[in-house]
């Protein structure tokens, strides 16, 4: 037990898939995991541990934003001996040619957030995901015939900004899309000697202002989820 997770030690798998939304964690467990057990309900941050094709996997929500994923990923890595966390989320596209439902694997994340600096004195504002996990995901995507792009995400602390559109600094850094969690996740993996990466589906486009309907979003999310589950068999 930790301040935010009531699960027994040993009831969380070595590989954790992490959507932001607790209900998505439930749908994922109901749809894909065999013998799934609900192992955390603290603050409704549901975690389910079950089996995918015989391999034990945990699906646990992160909540929204770096403070939230920062807490849960730290506790999972440090106190539950989790080795791998794959965030599976949505992001807003910063590029006209990165369309709704495109899937991006985060090579790294740029952020103005002070999370990493305050947590551990980290001075860099671009942090990489784990190459080993990324290679597994890239190979698996080819085997499954799923097209993914690999690139840089902008991890932002702010969803509603006074200046609308794409922030200049993120464009200068070559960011493809915006989400709010990966930078803190990658930092925690770095300081604790663990592995993390992030897959996202584009749910809206900040240039063209297209946005996915709830149903379309769910369908696109399923493809990314299946990729993450298949890749996790090799981790
Ligand atoms: N900004 C930040 N996070 C997001 C967005 C966005 O536009 N879309 C989905 N997650």
pLDDT in tens, 73-109: 999 999 999 999 999 999 999 999 999 999 999 999 9
156 pocket-lining for ligand 1 (C-beta < 6 Å):
yes
Give yes or no for residue 8 having a pLDDT over 80. Answer: yes
Domain ranges across the chain = 15-232
Among 20, 167, 180, 200, residue to substitute to test ligand 1 (most atoms within 8 Å of Cβ): 180
For ligand 1, the distance from its centroid to the CA atom of residue 120, given in whole angstroms, is: 26
For ligand 1, the distance from its centroid to the CA atom of residue 202, given in whole angstroms, is: 9
CA distance 54 to 41: 25
CA distance 83 to 173: 30
> Contact, 33 vs 103, CB < 8 A?
no
Q: What is the pLDDT at residue 172?
A: 97
168: tokens are 């200049």
Q: Cβ contacts of residue 145 below 8 Å, gap of 6+?
A: none
Q: What is the pLDDT at residue 70?
A: 98
Residue nearest ligand 1's atom 9 by CA: 91
CA distance 59 to 175: 27
Ligand 1, residue 204: give the atom nearest the CA: 8
CATH code 1.10.10.10 for 15-232: no
Active site residue 204: yes
Report which secondary-structure segment, H or E, holds 52: strand 47-52
Q: Is the dihedral of CA 33, 39, 43, 44 positive or negative?
A: positive
Residue nearest ligand 1's atom 10 by CA: 91
For ligand 1, the distance from its centroid to the CA atom of residue 206, given in whole angstroms, is: 9
Burial class (CB in 10 A: 0-12, 13-18, 19+), 105: buried
Ligand 1, residue 206: give the atom nearest the CA: 7
Q: What is the pLDDT of residues 186-219, one digit of tens each?
A: 999 999 999 999 999 999 999 999 988 877 777 7
Residue nearest ligand 1's atom 7 by CA: 92
For ligand 1, the distance from its centroid to the CA atom of residue 214, given in whole angstroms, is: 15
Give yes or no for residue 175 having a pLDDT over 80. Answer: yes
Q: What is the pLDDT of residues 116-151, one digit of tens each?
A: 999 999 999 999 999 999 999 999 999 999 999 999
90 pocket-lining for ligand 1 (C-beta < 6 Å):
yes
92 pocket-lining for ligand 1 (C-beta < 6 Å):
yes
Q: What is the rounded average pLDDT of the residues 52-71?
A: 98
CA angle 42, 203, 139 (to 5 degrees): 85
Give yes or no for residue 38 having a pLDDT over 80. Answer: yes
201 pocket-lining for ligand 1 (C-beta < 6 Å):
no
Q: What is the pLDDT at residue 14?
A: 98
Q: For the whole model, what pTM was predicted? A: 0.97
% the chain with pLDDT above 90: 94
Q: What is the pLDDT at residue 31?
A: 96
Give yes or no for residue 50 having a pLDDT over 80. Answer: yes
% the chain with pLDDT above 70: 100
């Amino acid at each position: 037990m930790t301040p935010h997770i009531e699960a027994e030690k040993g009831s969380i798998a070595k590989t954790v898939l992490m959507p932001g939304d607790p209900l998505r964690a439930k749908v994922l467990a109901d749809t894909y995991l065999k013998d799934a057990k609900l192992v955390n309900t603290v603050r409704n941050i549901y975690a389910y541990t079950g089996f995918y094709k015989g391999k034990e996997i945990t699906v646990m929500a992160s909540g929204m934003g770096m403070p939230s994923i920062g807490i849960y990923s730290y506790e999972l890595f440090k106190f539950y001996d989790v080795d791998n966390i794959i965030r599976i989320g949505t992001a807003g596209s910063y590029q006209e040619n990165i369309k709704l439902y495109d899937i991006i694997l985060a090579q790294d994340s740029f952020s103005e957030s002070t999370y990493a600096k305050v947590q551990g004195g980290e001075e860099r504002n671009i942090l990489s995901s784990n190459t080993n996990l990324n290679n597994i995901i890239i190979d698996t995507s080819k085997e499954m015939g799923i097209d993914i792009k690999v690139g840089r995400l902008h991890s932002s602390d702010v969803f509603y900004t006074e200046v609308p559109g794409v922030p200049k600094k993120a464009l200068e850094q070559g960011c493809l899309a915006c989400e709010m969690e990966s930078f803190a996740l990658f930092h925690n993996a770095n300081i604790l000697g663990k592995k993390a990466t992030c897959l996202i589906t584009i749910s809206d486009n900040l240039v063209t202002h297209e946005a996915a309907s709830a149903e379309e979003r769910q369908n696109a999310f399923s493809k990314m989820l299946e990729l993450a589950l298949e890749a996790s068999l090799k981790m």
